[in-house]
Amino acid sequence: MNTAIILAAGKGSRMNAGMNKLYVNIKGKPILAHTLDVFFACNHIYEIILVIGDGEEEMCRENVLDKIESSKPVKLVIGGKERRDSVYNGLKNVCKDADVILIHDGARPFITEETIEESIKQALLYTAVTIGIPAKDTIKEIDKEGFVENTPNRSNLWLTQTPQTFMRDVIVQAYESSNGDRAAVTDDATLVERMGIKVKMIRGSYDNIKITTPEDIALAEAILESGRIKDV
């Protein structure tokens, strides 16, 4: 059984929308609704844990959940102070029968069913999987004064996306063993890597953008208009 944890508790301050950015519309539908539609449509997902901001339950139900026709189980969970706290809150509410857990940013509405299914398939083989895309640009590592220290080989660099997908026992152990360690962690795979477990990278899509700033809204609309993404 496969469970998807969708993270939707961030405030999105860089969007300057005056509210959680995931309720901003693109093509007449909230960003979060676009994201959830894909997971609801995917036959390989049994359960959805939706992690939302404190006080946003009514807004979420009225603007998103009540407009989705599906009998798939959905559980609303209140997020924490940081991303890792929100993920952990989600993990604690996953169905006891779940074998594979996918963790996805609600701000990435252009994930596809095919990528979700491939992530699950690869997690069953390799235990821990993240999707990503090869870096197009040359990356520079700089010091505190802004001077270049190193230029990594671009052929070895990938930009990580979500979902990140894990066998349940692995990701739960990763979070429980990191309790009390508040070192900066920007993705779930990092915690698994710290356990000495290799994470398999599989190809995602350049369309699987994370909507963060007002400029991203225009890009998202262009992606939808291109026809490359099926609007569920």
pLDDT value, residue 202: 97
* Burial class (CB within 10 angstroms; exposed 0-12, middle 13-18, buried 19+) of 160: middle
Do the Cβ atoms of 227 and 33 come closer than 8 Å? no
> What is the per-residue pLDDT across 169-203, written as a single tens digit (0 to 9) for each?
999 999 999 876 767 678 999 999 999 999 999 99
Query: pLDDT at residue 19 above 80?
Result: no
pLDDT value, residue 66: 92
The sign of the torsion formed by the CA atoms of 150, 188, 126, 176 equals positive
Do the Cβ atoms of 167 and 126 come closer than 8 Å? no
* Burial class (CB within 10 angstroms; exposed 0-12, middle 13-18, buried 19+) of 184: exposed
Q: 44-48, 71-75, 158-162: which range is least confident on average?
A: 71-75
Give the Cβ contact number of residue 109 at 10 Å: 29
First to last CA, the chain: 23
Give the Cβ contact number of residue 221 at 10 Å: 12
- 147-to-136, 151, 159 alpha-carbon distances in Å: 22, 11, 23
Question: How much of the chain exceeds pLDDT 90, in percent?
Answer: 82
Q: Where are the domains of the chain?
A: 2-226
> What is the per-residue pLDDT across 30-58, written as a single tens digit (0 to 9) for each?
999 999 999 999 999 999 999 999 999 99
pLDDT value, residue 227: 80
* CATH annotation of 2-226: 3.90.550.10
pLDDT value, residue 204: 97
Give the Cβ contact number of residue 116 at 10 Å: 24
Greater confidence, 26 or 71? Answer: 26
